[in-house]
Amino acid sequence: MASTTSPLYHTATNPINQLGVGSVALAVLLIAYFVLSYTDLSLVKKSLSATSTYAQFAYTCFFKPHDGDGSGSQQDALESFYKSQASIYDATRSKLLQGREDMLALVAAQVKYRRQTGQISQKPIWVDIGGGTGWNIEQMQEQLDVPTFFHAVYLVDLSTSLCEIARKRFERLGWKNVHVICEDARTFRLSDYEAGTDGQKRDFSIGKPVYDEDSRDVVGADVLTMSYSLSMIPEFHPAVDSVANLLAPNGVVGLVDFYVQNQIEFSGRNYIGGAIDRHCMWISRVFWRTWFELDRVNLESARRDYIEYKFGTILSTNRRCHLLGFRIPYYIFVGCTRSSGAVLREVAEENAAVTESPFISALDLHSQTLSLNNRRRSSTERRSKAYDTAVVNLAASLPLPAAYYQNHKTRIYYDDSLQKHRQFNDEYIYAFTWEDSRTDARLLKITSDDVILAITSAGDNILSYALERPKRIHAVDLNPAQNHLLELKVAAFRALEYADFWKLFGEGKHADFLKLLLEQLSPHLSSQAFDYWLHAGPAAFDSKGKGLYFTGGSRHALQLVSWLGSLLGVREDMKKLCEVETLAEQREIWTKRVRRVLLSQLLAYFVVGSERFLWKALGVPGEQRAMIEEDYGKTIAARAAEKAKTGNSVTGVGAGGQKASSGGPGQAIWNYGVQTLDPVAHDTLLSNDNHYYLLCLLGSYTLHSHPNYLSPASHARLSSPSSALTNLRIHTDELAEVFARMQPESLTIAVLMDSMDWFSPSGPEAEAQVQAVNRALKMGGRVLLRSAGLEPWYIKTFEASGFVGKRVACRIGRSGEAVCTDRVNMYASTWICTKVEGV
C-alpha cells in the first residue's frame, strides 16, 4: 500500500489530476459511443478479424521457430510452416502472390485454342503441382467450367494441412472430378490414379526423356500448373523432370513464381521469349533472396532457367508485385513440350516460307544439316536466321527459339538483345501509317500470284494488301515495336469480334484491354509481342487516357497540333474541319482560321525545323531533310534566275500565294509543309475521305473516315481462317538482310516507302540494297518508292542495276504550283522501278 507521503499518492489524490483523468475517460467513452452508433458492427468485426489474421501471418512467417527440421523430412518442414496458418492462407496471400489469375487466364486461353483446333481432342486432364488449398482450381472457374471442361483435376501438395483445406473446399463446391493428392511432386505418377480418357493405363517410367517422342507416356496431363511452389521445392531438378514427363505431347504448362536474376545470366540465350524487365538490380537480388530464405523460399535463378531448358517457351513475362511500397520480382511462364518427332520437318517448312524457297523434306534437311559431309551448297540455297538458329539449338540439345512454339508462325525469330533493335528503346515511331493505301492499290494492281515484301511501319498498308489476297506478304521492320503493333492487329483479327476490334484501333481505347490480351489475344501473339503489350498496352489503350494514337514517336506531332489549337483558340475549328460535309466549308475554315496556326513560320523555325523534332515526331532522318533543303535551294535559284532580268528580290512562294524569305532556319521545312497541307485541305474531304489528317486532329478515327482494314467487311474477310494473313510473315531485320536471304526471283512486288531516303549518297548501302532487291525480284517485278525529293539521287542507282524508273506522281505541277498526289501528300514524288535485267 502506498504511503500517504509518497509522490504517487499525492498525484493520484490531487483533484486536478482526478478531473483530468475523468475528462479523458469521458471523451473516450463519447467517441466510442458515436463511432459505434454510426458504424456497422460487421465492419468492426471484419477489421478485428483481419488484424488478427495478419498478426497470425506475421508471427508464423517471421517469428515462429521451425520445429520440423529434426526428422529431415520436407513434409515435416512444410507442416511446421503451414499447419498454424492453413486456415488463413488464402486470406493472407491475395496481395503477396500476384500473377496467379493472369497465369491461369493465359493457360486457359491456350487450352481452349488447342481444343478448338483439335490438338487436344478429348476432355483435358489438369495437374496442379503444389496446389495448396485449391485456390487456383476454384479461380480457374472464372475462365473455364472446371466440373464439365476437365476430365479430371489433380491437386498435388505435400502439406497435409493445406490438402485438408482443399478437400473441404471441393466438398463445399461439389466438384467430383477434382482429386486432392498429398504426395511429393517428385514421386507423383498420374498412372497411379488415372487410366486416361481412352481407357488405357498409363505406362510410366521416371527419367524418360521428354525430348524423345517414342518414349513418351501413353497418357499425360494436358494442363500442368505450378503457382509459387517451385521456389519451395529443395530438390527442384527431379521435380521439374517429373513434371516434364507428366506433360502430354500437346499439353500446356503454366508457372508463376518469385525470382531474381542478373542480365548476364540470360543475355546469351535465344529461347527465353523476351527479356523486358527481367534483369533485377543488385540490391533487389541480394535483399529478396535473403528475405525469402527466412521462409524457405528459394529465389535463385537456376529454377527458372531449368524450366526454360526443359520446356519450349510459348509466353514469358516479368512483372513486379507492388506491396507496401516494395517491388517484388515475379515471372509468368507458359510452355509446352520442347519438341516432337516432326521438329525437323517444321523447321524446314518454316524456312521455305520465310525465304520463298522450295520445300525441302525433313529427311533431306536432316542429311544436309546434321551429316558430317561438308558438301558445297548450291548458290541458290537460302537459309533464314530462324533456320540457322534452330540448327544450332538442336545440335546443342537446347529448346528452339520461342517463335517455333507459337500457335501461328507469323513472327520470324529475331535476337531482341542486339543493339540494332535496342536503339528504339521499346517504342515504335509510327502509331499509324502515312502511305495512302488506295493509291498503292491503284498503282500496284495486286493479284493472287503476287509475293509482296513491304516495310511494316504501323501495319495499316500490310493489312490493306492482305485484303487483295496475294500469295504471300513479307512485312519487314528493324524496330521490333513496329512489328509488335502489326502482330497485335493480326491477333485481333483472329480473336476479336468487330466491336472490340473497332474500340482498339478505331477509337484507340478499350476499358478491358488487359482482359482481352490475357484471355483472347494471347494465343495468337508471339512471346515478345505479348510481353511488350502486357507492359505497354494498358497505358496505351487506357479508356481514360488519350488513346493508342497518342503513343509512339508520332505522338509528339499530334500533341503539338492539339496544344497549338488550344493555345491559339482554333481547337474548335480543327474539330469542325473533321465534321463539315463539303470542300467549300472545309476550305473556308482552313484558310481563315487553321492555316495560320499550323503553317506558322514561327512554328517552322523553332519546332518543325528542329532536327530533333523531325526525327522523334515525324521519323525524318537527316539525309531526308537534306533532300528537302536541296530541292528548296534549287527552287530559289531557279526563281532568282527568272527574276534577275527584272531586278526583283528573291522570295519563296508557297501554295496559296503566301510569301516567305529565302533563308533562315526551317524555311525549307516550312515550304515543304505548305506544299503538303494546302493541297490536302483544298482537294480532299477529311470528314469522310481523308482519315490520315482527321486522325491527327481528333486523335481517333470515325465511323465515316477510317482505313479500309477497319471496316466491318474487311474484318469479316481478314478474320476468316483462309485469309491472306495466314501467309503473312513478319521479319524484324534490315531490308538488305531480308532480301539477301530470299530465294532469287521469288518476289513480284517490293514496297520500300521512303526507306531509300535514309541512305547517304556517298555510302555503299544504297547500291548493295538495290542489287539485293534485283536478285530477289522476278523479271518484271516492281519496286514502289516514295521520296521527299523531286528527283531522288538513288533512281540512277536503280537504273544502273537493271531497273527502269518511272515517276508516277509529283507534288509540283507543270506551272510550279503544289498539287495533291494522294490523300497524304507527304512525299514530293512517287516512283515505280521495274526490273528489266538481272544483276
Pairwise CA distance, residues 570 & 498, whole Å: 34
Look at the block and give the residue holding cell 488405357.
Answer: 200
Measuring CA to CA, which residue among 591, 511, 514 is closest to residue 99? 514
Pairwise CA distance, residues 351 & 384, whole Å: 6
Measuring CA to CA, which residue among 597, 561, 557, 600 is closest to residue 434? 557
Do 86-337 and 428-511+708-835 come out as alike in CATH topology?
yes
Question: Which residues make Cβ contacts (< 8 Å) with residue 812, sequence separation at least 6?
Answer: 675, 790, 818, 819, 828
The pTM of the full predicted model, rounded to 2 decimals, is 0.85
**pLDDT computed for residue 645 by the predictor:** 63
**pLDDT computed for residue 114 by the predictor:** 95
Query: Do β-strands 152-157 and 178-182 pair in parallel, antiparallel, or remain unpaired?
Result: parallel
Q: Return the SS3 of 731.
A: strand
Class of domain 428-511+708-835: alpha beta
**pLDDT computed for residue 352 by the predictor:** 76
Domain positions in the chain = 7-75, 86-337, 343-402, 428-511+708-835, 555-698
DSSP string, 621-661: -HHHHHHHHHHHHHHHHHHHHHHTTTTPPP-EE-TTS-EE-
**pLDDT computed for residue 440 by the predictor:** 94
Measuring CA to CA, which residue among 512, 534, 571, 665 is closest to residue 106? 534
Pairwise CA distance, residues 88 & 80, whole Å: 15
Beta partners for 332?
256, 317
Residues of the chain with pLDDT under 50: 197-216, 340-341, 360-366, 369-379, 614-617, 650-662, 664-665
Residue type, 316: S
Burial of 417 (0-12, 13-18, 19+ CB in 10 A): middle
Three cell numbers written together for 705: 473516315
Look at the block and give the residue holding cell 482505313.
Answer: 707
CB–CB of 729/412 below 8 Å? yes
Pairwise CA distance, residues 233 & 352, whole Å: 44
Three cell numbers written together for 316: 514469358
Helices 460-467 and 437-444 cross at an angle (nearest 10°) of 40
Pairwise CA distance, residues 551 & 488, whole Å: 15
Pairwise CA distance, residues 316 & 308, whole Å: 10
**Residue 195: DSSP 8-state:** -
Look at the block and give the residue holding cell 506544299.
Answer: 675
CATH code for the part of the protein at 86-337 = 3.40.50.150
